[in-house]
Copies of this chain bind each other. A is one copy, B any other.
Amino acid sequence: MALIVKKFGGSSVANAERIQRVARRVVESANEGNSVVVVVSAMGDTTDDLIDLARQLTTNPSPREMDMLLSTGEQISIALLAMAVQQLGHTSISFTGGLAGISTEAVHGRARITDIDPTRLHGALNDGSIVIVAGFQGTSEDGSITTLGRGGSDTTAVALAAALKADLCEIYTDVDGVYTTDPRVVKAASKLSAISYDEMLELAHLGAGVLHPRAVEFAKQYNVALMVRSSFNHNPGTLVEEVAAMEQGQIVRGIAHDMNVVKVGLVGVQSRTGNLKRIFQALADQAVNVDIIVTSVVHDEQSDISFTIGEDDLDTTLTTLKSQFPDVQLSVEQNLAKVSIVGAGMISNPGVAAQMFATLADAGISIKMVSTSEIKVSTVIDQDRAHQAVQALHTSFGLDSVQEAVVAGLDSHA
């Protein structure tokens, strides 16, 4: 008998019929002898509807009250799913994040989980209940309801799996698993049977969209076996674990792209006075996620700095920089994309970056920024060339032909 945490996103519980399907699926798993904990997001458009309501009242809602408001979305889902499970004749009990023992920082809108007390969940599991937990939320020390922000439900699922020492954490999505790249962009994209945490982390960070990076980090930290699979069929998904068996000959495992990139340039920053630290500290204080940073020393005492951020953070970034560094000259370049190749095999294969640059050059795509890690190379290019770049790289790194290999890999997991 295994203890399995299953996470279903908002589209999987968008209406009564879908909730019933999820209920059947989790009861099926329980009837196979598993202890089942289910983490759910808010139903379909609920969160957007609630945000609309708030916008009718204020342009700048208090983050605490937004959390109070938005956390109702998951609370509705858990109650309904518990009822649907009970209707199938299985005992079930739902818990909000707070009731499930999930403590977070006292930060609203993007709190991090600080602790989980699984006492209540263990009690309910021991009673034989299918346990339903609201994703995306917790409570801070003063008792306020907090939300975890984007990817929060994935993170809830993984954190609960860690706290409960679950055997597996299954993330149900609207795709069959993790693909070599976005199948909407590249037709020849194929599903990976397995991938390492580090690779998944790079792909997740780079906008693969299937799993939130915070969840993957959590999974890596607590060594939680993660399975990404479809809520619409019973196909085996992609297993994310410490070391995934390499697909034969695959140095590059996947290609990710992020269409939502803005490049901000700062010209003539005084280097001596610790400005670099002050700039990025100021942005961090405003919770701006800075991605790629490139600096060049122009004179002894002056630097040019470029960095990328998401489109959403542009207003905050400009306001912060203008108010705190009024003397610095700012430039903004929008409509950019980041295209990245990811693969643990890169570490021992020099020349991968060079092949990437050559492939893009051959396609006539100019590279504006580059960033590398041990297992990925990212390039910033014009947004309208991004899909072309992904297609060219998918071919260049031999991923178009991966299909059979993956299918074979899947069979061994089925």
Contact = CB atoms under 8 A, between A and B. Distances in A.
B68 A94 contact: yes
Interface in A1-40: 16, 19-20
Interface in A248-296: none
Contacts of A79: 54, 65-66, 68-69, 72
B80 A64 contact: no
Interface of A: 16, 19-20, 50, 53-54, 56-58, 61-62, 64-66, 68-69, 71-72, 75-76, 78-80, 82-84, 86-87, 93-94, 96, 99, 120, 143-145
Nearest to A82: B65
A76 B62 contact: no
A76 B86 contact: no
5 contacts: A54-B79, A65-B80, A66-B79, A75-B75, A120-B143
A367 to B, nearest CB: 45
Given A93-B64, A94-B65, A120-B143, A58 B84 contact: yes
Given A68-B75, A99-B144, A144-B99, A80 B62 contact: no
Contact of A78 (B66, B68, B86): B68
A82 B120 CA distance: 31
A70 to B, nearest CB: 8
9 shortest A-B CB distances, which residue pairs? A69-B79, A16-B56, A72-B72, A68-B79, A58-B87, A57-B84, A65-B79, A65-B82, A58-B83
A352 to B, nearest CB: 50
A42 to B, nearest CB: 10
Specify which of A66, A86, A120 lies most central, judged by the most chain B CB atoms within 10 Å of its CB. Answer: A86
Contact of A80 (B19, B53, B87, B144): B53
Contacts of A96: 68, 145
A54 B72 contact: no
Nearest to A62: B86
A303 B145 CA distance: 57
Nearest to A88: B58
